[in-house]
C-alpha cells in the first residue's frame, strides 16, 4: 500500500462528519495468572475496526465515554479495509481485511492511555498535523442499552452476571453486560447496561434483540 493511497484514504476518512462504524462492544476476556499473582484480567474494548486491550477494573460510565471517544477518533485515521489492534504492552498492529497483510506500526508507547493510541496511530500513518488536531477535538455520541437499575451494588452486579450468562450466545451489537453507578439526588444508583454504541440506530437494534430474548430495556446516552 503506497503512502499516496494512505493519504488519500485519510482525507476521505476525515471528510466524514459522522461515525458509521458498527456498534461498539465491551468484552471481558480471561487472562492467565498464577495463584499468587493479583494481575487484572485484560479489558478488551472493540469497535468494527479498532480493538484495544487494557489491564483495568470494570470502568465507570465516564471512563467508558472517554475511552470510546479516543477509539472513535482513532478509527477515523485508518485507511479503508484496515483494522487496528492496540495492546496494553504498547504494540500497534495494522491489518488488512484479507487477513494476510499485517504490519506493526509501533512497538513501544503508553498502552494504558488511549489518547496515546490515537497519537501513535496518527504519527505512524503520517497523518497531517492539522488533520490530526482537528479530529482530536471532535466529540462523538455514545449510547447504551440500560436493562435495570438498583440502589444496591451487590444486586446490580448479581443481575449483570446473570444477564451476561443468559446473553452469552448473542453477537448482535454487544457481547457483554456491565454496571456503572450514577448519582440521583443524594443517592447513588447502580445501572445495568448492555453494550456501548456510536449510533443510536445500532443501540435501538440491540434493544429489539434484547427484548426478543426477554430482557426489555431503554436506549440512553452513556
User: Topology of domain 143-221, per CATH?
Assistant: Alpha-Beta Plaits (3.30.70)
pLDDT in tens, 23-75: 333 333 333 333 333 444 567 787 778 888 877 666 677 788 888 889 889 98
What pLDDT, on the 0 to 100 scale, is given for residue 109?
Answer: 65
Mark out the alpha helices in the chain (DSSP H runs): 3-15, 61-77, 114-124, 129-136, 153-166, 200-212
- Say how far apart CA 54 and CA 130 lie, in whole Å: 29
pLDDT tens per residue across span 6-27:
344 444 443 332 233 333 333 3
Report for 25-34, 94-103, 118-127: range of highest mean pLDDT? 118-127
How much is the pLDDT for 218?
94
DSSP 36: T
The count of residues in the chain is 222
The count of other CB atoms within 10 Å of the CB of residue 112 is 12
Domain ranges of the chain: 3-13+20-31+40-136, 143-221
SS3 state of residue 32: coil
- Give yes or no for residue 145 having a pLDDT over 80: yes
Average pLDDT over residues 119-127: 91
The predicted structure's pLDDT at residue 179? 85
Rounded to an integer, the average pLDDT of 120-134 is 93
Q: Give residue for cell 453494550.
A: 195
Q: Sorting pLDDT into bands at 50, 70 and 90, what band is 89?
A: confident
Amino acid at each position: 500500500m503506497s503512502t499516496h493511497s494512505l493519504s488519500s484514504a485519510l482525507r476521505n476518512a476525515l471528510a466524514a462528519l459522522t461515525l458509521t462504524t458498527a456498534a461498539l462492544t465491551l468484552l471481558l476476556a480471561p487472562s492467565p495468572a498464577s495463584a499468587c499473582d493479583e494481575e487484572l484480567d485484560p479489558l478488551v474494548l472493540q469497535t468494527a475496526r479498532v480493538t484495544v486491550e487494557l489491564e483495568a477494573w470494570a470502568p465507570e460510565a465516564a471512563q467508558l465515554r472517554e475511552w470510546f471517544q479516543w477509539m472513535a477518533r482513532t478509527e477515523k485515521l485508518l485507511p479503508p479495509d484496515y483494522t487496528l489492534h492496540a495492546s496494553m504492552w504498547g504494540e500497534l498492529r495494522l491489518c488488512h481485511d484479507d487477513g494476510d497483510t499485517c504490519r506493526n506500526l509501533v512497538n513501544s508507547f503508553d498502552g494504558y492511555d488511549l489518547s496515546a493510541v490515537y497519537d501513535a496511530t496518527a504519527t505512524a500513518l503520517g497523518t497531517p498535523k492539522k488533520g490530526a488536531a482537528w479530529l482530536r477535538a471532535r466529540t462523538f455520541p455514545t449510547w447504551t442499552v440500560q436493562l435495570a437499575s438498583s440502589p444496591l451494588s451487590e444486586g446490580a452486579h448479581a443481575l449483570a452476571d446473570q444477564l451476561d450468562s443468559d446473553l452469552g450466545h448473542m453477537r448482535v451489537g454487544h457481547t457483554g453486560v456491565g454496571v456503572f453507578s450514577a448519582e440521583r439526588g443524594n443517592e447513588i444508583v447502580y445501572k445495568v447496561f448492555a453494550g456501548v454504541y456510536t449510533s443510536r440506530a445500532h443501540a435501538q437494534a440491540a434493544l429489539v434483540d434484547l427484548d426478543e430474548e426477554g430482557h426489555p430495556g431503554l436506549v440512553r446516552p452513556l
